[in-house]
Structure 1
Amino acid sequence: MSNPDSTGDVNSEVPTVARCYAVALGSDVSATLVTYGITFDLYTRGMFYGLPVGKQSSIQIRTADQASSHDLKLHVAHIEQGEGHVSVCAPLTQTPPNYRSPEGRALFGPPQVLACRIVVMPPVNKKIRWSDAEIQALKRAATAKCALCIIVFQGLSKDEKSLLNACFNSVFTVEPCEPDEPFVSAYMAVPMTGGLLAATGHKSVIENIRMNSEGVIERQCQPCVSPEKLTREIYRLRESGRSLQEIGEELGFDKSTISRRLSALPYHLRRHCM
């Protein structure tokens, strides 16, 4: 059996236990854009927010609603290549299924072909919270006959997010951040605190996004140290060997301001630049 963390195509074999990852979206993050970005990177590079998981030649996306299904179908058409395939499945009803119930989870069914599956959950009902048992049941249903599964959650509470690390191989939280020029929007994917990736210093990723004149999504993804553009620029200049004084003069800030920005970074980042 091939190494599941290699960068080659891993759709030819089924691992004994499917790898399953979770993404928890902030309230102002587009599930459609996030799902498109995840799909693009899995299909073309075999990467998931900087984590090598192997190129996926067959991807099945189950959307949260019919409207987002229509949008995703338009955009994923631009990334299909060769003999690979990306399919987009929408709920059959106007009302999103209740995936907490056995009836809702039964709607998944196995993929028609051995595939990577991406499942986008509908926004959470604030009055009814996910339990640990319900998340585990969802995971079992979603990973049936899959080599790799990614579940995208929307609007989870802090308590619900705390349940994810125990259920999934790795978990990323995604929140809006300041974009780099010339992009108009961006979000930052961060390994969830308490998980293995965060504990081992896995870098966060910024995804800058814009739409070109032909209606095609353009993205720029790279490791990211902060949601704030100024802090990212300070860190970049410091990494290039510039002194705190030189950085302050170039950016128009006092040396102490530069130092405070760097000091606020996580230890595994600031130890290299202070």
Structure 2
Amino acid sequence: METKPLVLAISSRALFDLDESHRIYEEQGTEAYCNYQIENEDVPLSPGGAFSLVRKLLALNDNNPNTPKVEIILLSRNSADTGLRVFNSIQHHKLAITRAVFTSGSSPYRYVAPFNAHLFLSTSPEDVGMALEAGIAAATILPSHIRSNNDSDQLRIAFDGDAVLFSDDSERIFKEKGLKAFTENEQQTAREPLPGGPFKDFLMALNQIQTEYGENASPIRTALVTARSAPAHERVIRTLRAWDIRIDEAIFLGGMDKGPFLKSFGADIFFDDQEKHCQSAVEHVATGHVPHGVANQKKAQD
């Protein structure tokens, strides 16, 4: 049976650096923005936060372009007219992206599901939130001038655990009852797999690609970077085993800042549900905030 490709839907602002264009839009309005993009449509855009992820994912197709392992879909709030600069930039950077949607200002998130995307990346928290509510893995790419410090061709992706790979069930206990109750619960349920979180299916799709290569020859390397520490580590390890998923590196930090460890791992991108961890990470690596679970509920209600 032919394996379906991993599909990533991405906004133009997550793929390219459109900060200057967006500043013109906010300060001078739509007409000035449109004129600016048309006047500069032959000036290639610089890479954005998720550019390295996209480039390395597309490289997985190089050896067999007729049966691609990955497909990238561009979803943009630009019009087709102003979006010409985005497509010219795609061609300039030699990215094999052929499918795109331009919505002229309206939310493009509604096209994520018809494309059967495993992951949606955007700079719009609202679009990302709607995708997560629809059961699609999604993250808000945070503003950063940090680009990948991983110069190798290997794609390195790091994930937080609770409320990202796993459900937020355990995190809720920690938030509501404290560390002692959380630790006791994890010890008592150590042999019960955690329910899956929003990024479980994306990790499984990555793992499916990894299994096509030898253990030391995979073009993808994954890491779990979690604030958990022993003894709460056991349930995580047993959960991944129950899912039959290989995580290449697992880092249990016990509350330490994640940023320096992500830099040492060489992450092309990191996904976390908590803003404080994202702010630590974004100083070192491209970072996607996953506005899901109990850590984001209060903000959503305010």
- Which TM-score band applies after superposition, normalised by the shorter structure? 0.3 to 0.5
Q: TM-score of the superposition, structure 1-length normalised?
A: 0.33
The answer to which structure has the higher helix fraction is 2
